[in-house]
Amino acid sequence: MYKSKDENWCVYVLKCRNNYLYIGLTNNIDRRLKEHERGTGSKFVRSWRPFELVKTIPCKNAKQARSLEYNLKKLKRSRKIEVLDLEIEMPIR
């Protein structure tokens, strides 16, 4: 069965070392996590490994995923944790 390019989009949240949060989007979560594991996903995650996937939010298409990612990234950390219903402590400095 043919899948359109807009299927399977999601916004995901990674909890990195020291409880830092990373928010990203993808249309292939397995591939994206492997990229992060290899250190090719993003400079931030590469610098703060190890990481754990703590949330995925399905989206109906790429546009919705980009919009949600953008809006979540604008929030202050405490508000992100509240909105995403995460149980995460403050970063360890």
Share of the chain above pLDDT 70, in %: 89
Confidence of residue 7 (pLDDT cuts 50, 70, 90): confident
Closest CA to 57 of 13, 4, 7: 13
**CA 79/CA 45 separation, integer angstroms:** 21
Helix (H, G, I), strand (E, B) or coil at 7: coil
Instruction: Work out the mean pLDDT of the chain and round it to a whole number.
Output: 91
Domains located in the chain, CATH noted: 10-84 (3.40.1440.10)
Task: Note the pLDDT of residue 91.
Answer: 65
| pLDDT tens column, 61-89 | 999 999 999 999 999 999 999 999 998 87
Cα atoms found within 13 Å of the Cα of residue 14, Cβ hemisphere only: 23
Confidence tier at 21 by pLDDT (50, 70, 90): very high
State pTM to two decimals: 0.88
